[in-house]
A and B are shown apart, each in its own frame.
Chain A
Amino acid sequence: MADASFFDRRRTVAPPGFNRWLVPPAALAIHLSIGQAYAFSVFNLPLSKLIGIKDSVPGDWKLSTLGWVFSVAIVFLGLSAAVFGRWVERVGPRLAMFAAACCFSGGFLVGALGIYTHQFWLLLAGYGALGGAGLGLGYISPVRTLISWFPDRPGMATGMAIMGFGGGAMIASPLSVWLMAHFKTATSMGVWETFVAMGLIYFAFMMFGVVSVRIPAAGWKPAGAGTAAGVRQVPAGANVEVNEAMRTPQFWLLWWVLCLNVTAGIGVLGQASPMIQEVSHGAIKAAAAAGFVGLLSLANMLGRFFWSSTSDYIGRRATYTTFFLLGATLYALVPTLGRLDTVALFVLGYVVILSMYGGGFATIPAYLRDMFGTMEVGAIHGRLLTAWSAAGVLGPVLVNYIREYRIAQGVPKAEAYSVTMYVMAGLLVVGLICNLLVKPVDAKHHYQAKDAEKAA
């Protein structure tokens, strides 16, 4: 395995008779690992008591400071996906996934050193920057590979992988808690030891994906493609280079489509626990609120598979139109549902909203494939993920700022979220307009058209 040629793109070409259903587990091994990032918050409290152990003491890291670790990781996810997207296209999935495994696991190990020596910058550079780069590389390479293997069901295929990113937190959260409890002593919170263990575990798990990933041979087509009942055979768009794609209105319209869909969901996801406690006037306690957060995570994960698979039947544009119309309606109804004092309806509304938040992530690669072809879809997807980074800042800021402003104005806490929900509904209406403006890419941007022009 140490042989450099093992990582050669040509070594990953599938032999005749290779079953394409072996590729989704390889993709899932990567996405289930990097999805751990969503569960980073389980470390926040223990990290804030590294010196005091029982309680935070002067010199311990503050919770507000620790919030930067996740933010930096998400920013580096977007940056690395955007910067290295073309490199991923060139070297193929195996080397890209190996680089992702090294960065992500290396981030844990450097972070562990930062925790052990109590150097915050080292934790930030390790888990945040290095680990974040691993997130970006690991996010785009399997998605791009699955689009090649499932030209007949691109939505379902990318949904499978991206569902793993949503599900990763569900594995990481209990695993982290269990490991910290295992390593905890009278003088240690057990966090740096947990970081080391998780770095090694995730490296091994991701290596399964590295070893088993394959790309289709030239001219390969799935047997019986185009015969599945009800599936719309949307041909991939004509190929467009990544830099050229960024000059098209379609790219920026889709950038806003993703950004606005994620902004609406991410703001709610981060505030779900206090929100349900305040809206229920304290009837729902912290433990039950944690159950609500868990339920939203499940909806987020399952929505990724459900909506992206549905997009193969109803089309990408219709899927996003559903997200924005249904989402705006539900956001507008949520304050009323809160006042009705019926937890089930309130929860159901948010479950549907969060399923569409996840669905937005999972459907966008297939949308890009429909628009820009498959030639550099991984690199284009990488550039588009900067919308996620922007939404990661915009969503929580909007929710928190509006809530604090309303409370400062004397509005009861239970009603402080109403305006936020109406603002989110408004954002989704803007997203709807962007989506409806998306038209096929002009032929002047097509790769072959450009070639012909140059030749002339």
Chain B
Amino acid sequence: MPETSSPPPADANASSPLQLVFSWLFVGIPLAWGVWEVAAKSLDLFTK
């Protein structure tokens, strides 16, 4: 998929560390919540 033509990129700014942290938190927090919910329910299996 690398672009074969060479148009000027629209985004002038390169990425900042803060942007990286925010992006991963944005998807990581809901995922961690979901995993926690499932893992907590899974404990029922071993405490029957």
**Residues in A lying within 8 Å of B, measured CB to CB:** 9-11, 13-19, 21-22, 25-26, 28-29, 32, 89, 92-93, 144-145, 147-148, 164, 167, 169-174, 208, 212, 214-220, 283-285, 287-292, 294-295, 297-298, 301, 343-344, 347, 374, 378
Whether A217 contacts B2 by the Cβ 8 Å rule is yes
For the complex of A and B, the 7 pairs showing the least CB-CB separation, nearest first, are A17-B14, A170-B34, A291-B45, A171-B34, A291-B44, A25-B23, A148-B1
Given A167-B35, A174-B37, A208:B26 Cβ within 8 A: yes
Dominant secondary structure of chain B at its interface with chain A: helix
Whether A343 contacts B1 by the Cβ 8 Å rule is no
Given A21-B20, A22-B20, A32-B27, A291:B41 Cβ within 8 A: yes
Whether B3 contacts A145 by the Cβ 8 Å rule is no
Beyond A13-B10, A173-B37, A288-B48, list 9 extra A-B contacts (CB 8 Å): A15-B11, A16-B9, A32-B31, A148-B2, A170-B37, A170-B38, A220-B2, A284-B48, A290-B44
Q: Which residues of A contact B47 (CB under 8 A)?
A: 288
Q: Which of A92, A212, A220, A378 contacts B23 (CB 8 A)?
A: A212
Q: Nearest chain-A residue to B33 (Cβ)? A: A171
List which B1-48 residues lie within 8 A (CB) of chain A: 1-7, 9-15, 19-20, 23-24, 26-27, 30-31, 33-35, 37-39, 41-48
Q: Nearest chain-B residue to A172 (Cβ)? A: B34
CB distance from A156 to the nearest CB of B (A): 15
Q: Nearest chain-A residue to B19 (Cβ)? A: A22
CB distance from B38 to the nearest CB of A (A): 4
Which among A13, A287, A374 has the highest number of chain B CB atoms within 10 Å?
A13
Complex CA gap A17/B31 in Å reads: 28
Complex CA gap A78/B38 in Å reads: 28
**Residues in B lying within 8 Å of A, measured CB to CB:** 1-7, 9-15, 19-20, 23-24, 26-27, 30-31, 33-35, 37-39, 41-48
Whether A164 contacts B31 by the Cβ 8 Å rule is yes
Q: Which residues of B contact A283 (CB under 8 A)?
A: 48
Q: Which residues of B contact A215 (CB under 8 A)?
A: 1-3
CB distance from B47 to the nearest CB of A (A): 8
Can you list 15 pairs linking A and B with CB atoms under 8 Å apart?
A: A15-B11, A17-B14, A22-B20, A22-B23, A32-B27, A144-B1, A216-B1, A216-B3, A218-B2, A218-B3, A219-B2, A284-B48, A287-B44, A292-B45, A294-B38
Q: Which residues of B contact A289 (CB under 8 A)?
A: 45
Complex CA gap A216/B3 in Å reads: 7
Given A28-B31, A295-B42, A15:B2 Cβ within 8 A: no
Q: Which of B3, B13, B27, B34 contacts A217 (CB 8 A)?
A: B3
Which among B1, B3, B12, B34 has the highest number of chain A CB atoms within 10 Å?
B1
Whether A18 contacts B1 by the Cβ 8 Å rule is no
Complex CA gap A208/B29 in Å reads: 14
Given A13-B9, A215-B2, A170:B35 Cβ within 8 A: yes
Complex CA gap A287/B46 in Å reads: 11
